[in-house]
Amino acid sequence: MTSEELYARACKKIPGGVNSPVRAWRAVGGAPRFVERGAGSRIYDVDGNGYVDFVNSWGALILGHAQRDVVAAVQAAAARGTTYGAPTEGEVQLAELVCQCYPAVKKIRLVSSGTEATMSALRLARAYTGRDKIVKFDGCYHGHSDGLLVKAGSGVATLALPESAGVPRAVAGETLIAEFNQSDTLQTLFHRYPREIAAVIIEPVCGNMGVIPPQEGFLQRVRELTREAGAVLIFDEVITGFRVSFAGAQGCYGVAPDLTCLGKVLGGGLPLAAFGGDKAIMDLLAPEGPVYQAGTLSGNPLAVAAGLATLKILAQDSVYAELEHRAQLLEDGLSEVLRRHRVKAIINRVGSMLTLFFGVTRVSSATDARTCSRELFARFFQGMLQRGIYFPPSPLEAAFVSLAHTTGDIEDTVRACDDWAARAPVI
């Protein structure tokens, strides 16, 4: 069956034909390609095409597809049993490893998705402070729990929804919105709601309105303001954890949050995420304390094995320098080509995560990101796809470079972009 046939079949039984909205390609048009398999830097669709993949399961696959050690670890774990609902040694090893890499994380709990991690971190923050309100930043995405679907990035922004239907007004009303890279907007909220704000949650490098780096001093100021106000600072490092450095964005920018959420890379491509941080806050969790949180498959042995195998490779010396080098090559190559063909676009990049914003000259906030040309991005996406390069199917998402991308892959990508830009009737 072709992708188009499978998509038509899927649409009859699965809303929108997909199990997560951005996969439906609504922002770029056409039927999504159904993937048959992945290997290294590439994915192969059921129609017989191969693509250099810069989605990498939305950042989870920092080693690329079907990496040998990860596959072997998962196979070995599966042969011992796929789940027990009882503790295992791997969970302790993973908890110790994360605490070692993230000094702000003194205790940690494993869950199965980033959504669970952020939702549970907020519950903890509310219990710890005895307050109800939370602050998030316009354009940041923290999963799909009720209170976090206000001014959210990722699929919510891709589909241009102001927020999700079905969220009770009372819940959404407890979520306040500040502007990324504008700490005065956070300060204003603290003045307006003194001693009411339990937590401030932020992607320290925004990845869900495309990549938006924090400006110099911004995260430090957010840290100061939250400390002064007695609010819990939550870094959602579901994308950036083990991605922008082994110690995440908090390691790069030298800012220690109270709670940290991890996911994606942590699970090596299997369903695994975590939240952790300050001991006094974490010890409020049941069975130690009164905050309930649980999961049948939490700390699943297959996911833990994949995570441990991935982190073992990432702990090697030159890994992040190598990722930086390859991502820099990609950025430089694409920038040069777009400039040469007079395509109005900029590239925002932090380490191995990057976004091409078309039709704009600067993006430092969600407001800027929303002004980028969706139409030109869609043409770029389709042009690259025809040339065997698979970018995220939305203008407001990050592309990810993995250790499996060779310099040859990067050169092919730049050449494809050159060819597209030379032929595309662009502004």
Judged by beta carbon, residue 70 or residue 148, the one nearer ligand PMP is 148
Nearest Cα neighbor of 233 from 209, 253, 260, 251 is 260
Q: Tell me if residue 317 is catalytic.
A: no
Instruction: Compute the least distance from the CB of residue 58 to ligand PMP, in Å.
Output: 5
Which position's Cβ is nearest ligand PMP? Answer: 114
Instruction: Compute the least distance from the CB of residue 388 to ligand PMP, in Å.
Output: 25
Judged by beta carbon, residue 22 or residue 189, the one nearer ligand PMP is 22
Instruction: Compute the least distance from the CB of residue 18 to ligand PMP, in Å.
Output: 13
Q: Tell me if residue 136 is catalytic.
A: no
Q: Tell me if residue 141 is catalytic.
A: yes
Residues interacting with ligand PMP, by CB under 6 A?
58, 113-115, 118, 141-143, 154, 203, 207-208, 236, 238-239, 263, 273
Judged by beta carbon, residue 154 or residue 382, the one nearer ligand PMP is 154
State the catalytic residue, choosing from 53, 136, 264, 278. Answer: 264
The span from the CA of 83 to the CA of 325, in Å, is 39
Instruction: Compute the least distance from the CB of residue 155 to ligand PMP, in Å.
Output: 9
Judged by beta carbon, residue 34 or residue 137, the one nearer ligand PMP is 137
Judged by beta carbon, residue 32 or residue 143, the one nearer ligand PMP is 143
Instruction: Compute the least distance from the CB of residue 223 to ligand PMP, in Å.
Output: 18
The span from the CA of 395 to the CA of 380, in Å, is 10
State the catalytic residue, choosing from 141, 253, 320, 390. Answer: 141
Cα angle 36, 30, 49 (rounded to 5 degrees) comes to: 35
- Do the Cβ atoms of 286 and 293 come closer than 8 Å? yes
Instruction: Compute the least distance from the CB of residue 112 to ligand PMP, in Å.
Output: 8
Instruction: Compute the least distance from the CB of residue 89 to ligand PMP, in Å.
Output: 25
Question: First CA to last CA across the chain, in angstroms?
Answer: 38
- List the structure tokens of 370: 């929303």
Judged by beta carbon, residue 179 or residue 236, the one nearer ligand PMP is 236
State the catalytic residue, choosing from 138, 236, 258, 409. Answer: 236
Cα angle 175, 57, 6 (rounded to 5 degrees) comes to: 105
Judged by beta carbon, residue 263 or residue 299, the one nearer ligand PMP is 263
Instruction: Compute the least distance from the CB of residue 240 to ligand PMP, in Å.
Output: 8
Judged by beta carbon, residue 295 or residue 333, the one nearer ligand PMP is 295
Active site residues: 141, 236, 264
